[in-house]
A and B are shown apart, each in its own frame.
Chain A
Amino acid sequence: MNKFKSSKLVILLLSWGAIIQPAYAEDRLVQIRVDGLACSYCAYGIEKKLMKLKGVKHVDIDLPNGLVLVTGSDDLKLDPEKLRQLFEDAGFTFRAIVQDDGLKAQ
């Protein structure tokens, strides 16, 4: 009886994993090098502007390394020229997209 219950639990967990996996699998992680990032309060405008873009799910900022980390879905499109203007409007300087290789976000 206990063995049967355990098997059901395993099947349930595997099914749950199969359901939620595609949601993560579709996420992309893009790293953008930005200059002028010296305080998190000042950088809030970057997050606000990026979150308005289609496909962006989450934005984080790595101040010491000058990186803006964008997590988004597959339909996320980040054009360097548009990013240059976006960061200028936020008060910072866009340098480059340093990583957009379809890494799965954790």
Chain B
Amino acid sequence: MRGCSKLDSHPELQMPCRKFGAATLATSLAALFLSNAAFAHDPVFSPGPHVLFKDGIEVHAEYTRNKARGLSDNEASVAIKYGLTGNWVVGVELPYEWERGSLERESGIGAVSLSTKYRFWRSDRKGIQESAAIFAQLKLDTGGYADTGTNDLMLGLTYGYESLKWYRWASVRYLFNDDATPDKRGDRLFVDLAAGWRPKVNDYRAPDTVWMVELNGEMTQSSTVAGLALADSGGDQWFVSPGVMWTLRNFAVKAGIQIPIISKLNGDQAKARYRGLVELEWHF
């Protein structure tokens, strides 16, 4: 428990520290998945301003894999979203997670998340849609595998420019971890930039392909125990993430891989080797 090194002079804190360390690892993984709030025709790893049409329903299935030193964890989740208006969507997500360490394998159904996104600005031109949206995602204290027993809230702002040939997106997200101080997991800030390119504009009923590349930044505050920062927690990571989006009418497949380019993690933490994501979406 190197992360508790600052607490070595406080033996009474070592047990809570040990428990908190395990929880930090598990919840940081949960937070990783919580951070993926992409909808429909948005980038693969970051949110965009896209919403559903009014009274539309979207079924979203997703598989994520995170490989780090000595650890791999996986999540499959199902989400259902509903378009309240042409600019406002709400959804609910249920994940199933499993992770494999050097000695053991654990799995289970995770905590339920609720999400909403409101597109507050839209500028439409011929063959171009430019828009911005705010969104929120709340991981509920519903229990389940690796659950923190907290209600964690993420708020975000996103902008997107979509044309027949080129795409660009930008977003910023902040995850508030709902822990009682002085024991607290560090909050997280996500910054994303993305660009997309459609090689060919096909007919409305023909398949459509958009290639994308993203720059994803994650800045995590150090966690604290009894008000003291854990040495092996927090830090910054940046990823370059190529991806592709393929659609046919109301069915979409998205896939991408996050490759770390900068990992400035505090202390001794497992650095990400890669993260992969595949999504299937169907709206009707």
Q: Which of B127, B202, B247 neighbours the largest number of chain A CB atoms within 10 Å of its CB?
A: B127
Tell me the complex Cα distance, A44–B205, Å. Answer: 10
| B40 interfacial contact with A, CB 8 Å | yes
Within 8 A of B (CB), among A4-25: none
Q: Out of B53, B119, B202, B284, which one reaches A90, CB within 8 Å?
A: B53
Q: How large is the interface on B (under 10, 10 to 19, 20 to 34, 35 or more residues)?
A: 35 or more
Residues of B within 8 A of A62 (CB): 204
CB distance A40 to B247 under 8 Å?
Answer: yes
Tell me the complex Cα distance, A61–B52, Å. Answer: 18
> Given that A42-B41, A45-B53, A91-B51 are known contacts, is A63 also in contact with B86, CB under 8 Å in the complex?
no
Minimum distance in angstroms from A34 CB to a CB of chain B = 8
State the total of A-B contacts with C-beta under 8 angstroms. Answer: 95
| A55 interfacial contact with B, CB 8 Å | no
CB distance B52 to A45 under 8 Å?
Answer: yes
Q: Out of B54, B122, B203, B249, which one reaches A89, CB within 8 Å?
A: B54
Q: Out of B56, B127, B205, B250, which one reaches A66, CB within 8 Å?
A: B127
Tell me whether chain B's interface is mostly helix, strand or loop, or mixed. loop
CB distance B53 to A63 under 8 Å?
Answer: no
| A93 interfacial contact with B, CB 8 Å | yes
Q: Which residues of B contact A (CB under 8 A)?
A: 40-41, 50-56, 83, 85-87, 119, 122, 124-129, 162-164, 201-206, 208, 210, 247, 249-250, 252, 283-284
Taking A36-B125, A39-B208, A42-B129 as known contacts, 20 extra A-B pairs with beta carbons closer than 8 A to each other, sorted by chain A number, are A35-B128, A35-B129, A36-B128, A38-B162, A38-B164, A39-B247, A40-B202, A40-B208, A41-B208, A44-B53, A45-B54, A45-B83, A46-B53, A48-B53, A63-B127, A66-B127, A88-B86, A89-B85, A90-B54, A91-B51
